[in-house]
Amino acid sequence: MVAVFFCCTGSLWAQETLKTYADKIPLNIGTCVGSAFDSNDQTYINALKREFNTVVCENAMKPYSLQPSQGSFSFINADKLVAFAQQNNMKIRGHTLVWHNQNPNWLSKGSWTRATLLAAMKAHINGVLSHFKGKIIEWDVVNEAFDDSGAGARRTSFWQNTIGNDYIDSAFVYAHQADPAALLFYNDYSTCTMNTKSTAIYTMIKTMLANNVPIHGIGFQSHQQISDTSTSFFAGMKANFDRFAKLGLKISITELDVRMPLPSNQTALKAQAVVYRGFMQLALATPSCQTFMMWGFSDKYSWIPQQFPGEGAACIYDENFQPKPAYTALLDVLKAPIISTRFQGFSRPAHGPWSFDCESNSILVQDGQPGHPVLLEMFNPKGAKTGEYYSQSGVRTPLTPFNMARGTYILRANGAAARIPLIR
Ligand code: G3I
């Protein structure tokens, strides 16, 4: 009897999940949640609680869900997920306030002037942000405002056509007025690398910041394909992320999935794992990236087959909730964070364990090579290096005199990175 008890307890403690490791870094790791939650699929819900610390409504916070008739808000479904998240100590992203899609007819098919549509936008944003005040870590204020022409042009929509280019500025200003503490994001797809669309967005946000429009982050949706495995793809992505980070923006991966032609096969699943791995590596290497969301985690409920007939298998779990190579890839990266090639001169790079003591602002490196000093580097949330110094293994090294403000920093010991919350 006693033996059984210890055996079970031991295996529970030993369980490795994405959430276990993401919590340590820390990283918001999550998924969109939709019909599986509504239909109370317990297998799904158990996996959701086990693997993730963050959720986003797949459809329940979109305007057609929240304000089905003008002036009449319906928060029931969204509130259910918010309550579930709070009960399970999970964070919540908000998606989305202003979009060309999934609007109620009164809004998208209404007869508007610039002034009346701005007023309707303001009323929606006010109603939604007031309701969820203090509960949402990041809001997608405007979603997908640029088209796919390759010219970096604005998408034609009732927002764009009726109000003009500055509808985006107005949305962010209204959101900031409604909840001054909310973190406000612009979110779009096909923007991970440097291209005309991401450059148009970069230019827009730079102008917004210059005009003091309150925008705090950019969401890269990241609906990828299994061909996105090349070194040049990830190098382009890094350069792109870096330029947005240099604007002082938070960077979130908001809707990652990696689709493939059906039926899947082992080669495709391995390629898919490479893509997921690359995204997680880049997220952890980007100090301003604190959120890594997938658009679904089980192939059973993915949106892909409906919108891309003949394609699917885009998630990290299969239809029977069995982890795929992509799941293992994410877990591997979370367990052993990035090793930078810059430090290959060390015969045995330190992977940790190393620990940071918030109280004394000092770090203890436990597995450096005897006689080989460990290079410690500190990066602020904007990606700028705030310190670089050497430490001996086993010696607690103070991080002062670096004058760092409160926030989450990336610390690398011989290239192995971890995030540290600095509380002052
Ligand atoms: O509401 C009706 C329901 O009454 C009906 O019974 C059912 C029958 O299929 O359809 C329901 O509407 C569907 C809705 O999802 C809710 O399930 C729509 O047909 C369907 O088109 C809609 O798809 C959503 C899609 O956005 C709309 O563009 C997907 O679930 C959702 O995953 C997807 O999410 C978007 C992000 O918001 C933005 N980025 C891209 C991403 C993928 O398209």
Question: What domains can you pick out in the chain, each with its CATH number?
Answer: 17-335 (3.20.20.80), 341-422 (2.60.40.3080)
* CA-CA-CA-CA torsion sign (62, 185, 387, 406): negative
Given 51, 255, 377, 388, the catalytic residue: 255
255 is an active site residue: yes
Give the pLDDT of residue 162.
98
Measured in Å, residue 60 CA sits from the centre of ligand 1 at 10
Measured in Å, residue 115 CA sits from the centre of ligand 1 at 30
Measured in Å, residue 302 CA sits from the centre of ligand 1 at 11
- Residue 303 CB less than 6 A away from ligand 1: yes
**What whole-number distance in Å separates Cα of residue 14 and Cα of residue 16?**
6
Q: What is the pTM of this model?
A: 0.83
- Residue 255 CB less than 6 A away from ligand 1: yes
144 is an active site residue: yes
**What whole-number distance in Å separates Cα of residue 124 and Cα of residue 346?**
56
User: Which of 224, 191, 229 shows the shortest CA–CA distance to 311?
Assistant: 224
- The residue whose CA has the least distance to atom 36 of ligand 1 is 58
Give the pLDDT of residue 21.
86
Pocket test for ligand 1, best of 64, 303, 308 (most atoms within 8 A of CB): 303
Written as tens digits, the pLDDT of the chain (424 aa) is 333 333 333 334 447 899 998 887 779 999 999 999 999 999 999 999 999 999 999 999 999 999 999 999 999 999 999 999 999 999 999 999 999 999 999 999 999 999 999 999 999 999 999 999 999 999 999 999 999 999 999 999 999 999 999 999 999 999 999 999 999 999 999 999 999 999 999 999 999 999 999 999 999 999 999 999 998 999 999 999 999 999 999 999 999 999 999 999 999 999 999 999 999 989 988 878 999 999 999 999 999 999 999 999 999 999 999 999 999 999 988 886 433 222 222 223 334 445 555 455 566 665 555 566 667 777 765 666 777 767 666 666 666 544 555 556 666 666 555 555 444 3
Give the pLDDT of residue 7.
32
Measured in Å, residue 102 CA sits from the centre of ligand 1 at 8
- Residue 328 CB less than 6 A away from ligand 1: no
Question: Which atom of ligand 1 is nearest the CA belonging to 189?
Answer: 39
- Residue 58 CB less than 6 A away from ligand 1: yes
Give the pLDDT of residue 309.
97
Contact 146, 159 (CB under 8 A): no
